[in-house]
Every structure is written in C-alpha cells, then in structure tokens.
Amino acid sequence: MTSTMDSPTLTTVSDRIERACSACVPIGVVLIFVGLLIAGYIPAVPANWSAEEVAEFYRDDTNLIRFGIILTLIGFMVWGPLITVILRQMLRIRPEQKALAYLQFGSGLAAWQFLWVPMLVLAAASFRPERSPEATQTLHDLGWILLFLPFMPFVLQSGAIALAVLLDTGPKPVFPRWVAYFNLLECFLFLAVVLMLFFKTGPFAYHGVLVFWLPLFIFGAWLLVMAWATYRGAVEEQTQRLQNTSGAHAG
C-alpha cells in the first residue's frame, strides 16, 4: 500500500526537488572530505613550513592534489541547493522573518564564494609545481587564508538562522529550537580564525586545532544538521498541506 506521505497525487514536483536539494548534501559532505584527504589537505600543511617544503609538497603527487581539489569543488556544489531550501523553509516561520531569511540567503551566497575561490587558488598552486618555491608558497598561503579568514558571511548566515528560529512563535515551529543553539555555537567557534594571521604554530595557526580542525568539523556537522532540518521541514509542510486539504474536503 502506498503511504499517504508518498502518494503521487500529494507529492508535487516542487516537493521532490526541495527534498532532493536537502538529500544531496550528505553526498557533497563525503566528496568534500574525501577530496581534501586525497589532496593531502587533511591534515593541513603546517603554516610554518618553509617555501621549499611547500613546493616539494606540490611537486610530489601533483595529480592526486589536482584530483582531490576537483572532488572538493564538486562537493561544494551542494551549498547552493542547501541555502536555497533554508531560505524556502525560513519563509514559513511565523511571524514572518523575511529580512532574516534573505540575510541568510545573501550571506550564504557570499560564503559560497569563499568556499570555491580558495580551492581555485590552491589549484593554481598545483598547476605549475616547477615554479619558484616562493611563488608556490604565496599561492598556498593565499588559498588557506581565503578559506578560513573570511568568517563574516558564515557568522551572519548562522546568526540569521538562529535568530529566526528563536523568534518562531508558530503553533508548530519550522525548525527545532536546538537548531538555533547549534548555529550560535558555530558562530562562536568560527571566531577563533581571526587570530590565524598572528600565528604559524600552535592551535591558532591555519593548520591548528582552533582554526583548522574545529571549524572543519563544525562546518561538516552544520551541513548535515541543516540538510536534516530542511528535509524535515519540507516533509512536515507537505503533511500540513495534506491535513488542510483533508479538512477542507471534510468540511
């Protein structure tokens, strides 16, 4: 027997697309982490390496680095669908929080650039591994600084989501309240990256615990949490539509 939730007469094309946008995110997360592993960026190249050591890193297994970067870029593609469905679900919050919804979307678009642009810079570093070590080191440093230092759009995006969730006074909140606290935690943990310019060793260096490992973990967790939350919201919206339709027919 076909369940009510999956009945073709009740599940629209828009429903399927929205749920697919959320469902594809875990695949992207896997590609991102596998790509970074293949490229040798997990663990990150130490910030205190000499120019010759960085150049040697790019001369060894150059094609693996390139392949890993390509996989990571493909994985980042899921960011667009995710911020779109987050916007879609935030517009359901009552009372309406359109400013916060569009702030999330705009910040998400800006954040997307700071995901793929650094990888392109790192790709340029791998493109000519025979160049001078100083030039390779400059591109490598630029890639990592661009990847972690522009924390502003990520913090704005998570802050907008958190505030909207906390202001949701609808009879059935769109997102669970803990999603707000998780986003606030992400905002707080991302702030440590502001110190990366002052350190080449220790937890605040761009390969350190507080700048690389913790943000990397929380970023992957955020993608999965928001994918689950938006998928759940889409399913509940469909259920509510079904109940409204059934009530109208009964009336």
pLDDT at 170: 86
HEC-encoded secondary structure of 36-81: HHHHCCCCCCCCCCCHHHHHHHHHCCHHHHHHHHHHHHHHHHHHHH
In the three-class reduction of DSSP (H, G, I as helix; E, B as strand; rest coil), residue 138 is classed as: helix
C-alpha 4/C-alpha 124 separation (Å) is: 52
pTM of the model: 0.89
pLDDT along the chain (251 residues), means of 10: 46 86 96 97 94 95 96 97 96 93 97 94 95 96 93 95 95 94 94 91 93 93 97 86 61 53
What confidence score (pLDDT) does residue 191 get?
Answer: 87
Kindly report the length of the chain.
251
pLDDT at 10: 64
**pLDDT, tens only, 34-89:** 999 999 999 999 999 999 999 999 999 899 999 999 999 999 999 999 999 999 99
| Helix ranges, the chain (H) | 13-23, 25-39, 51-59, 62-75, 79-90, 98-127, 133-148, 152-166, 177-190, 214-250
pLDDT score for 240: 77
Alpha carbons 77 and 45: distance in angstroms, whole number: 25
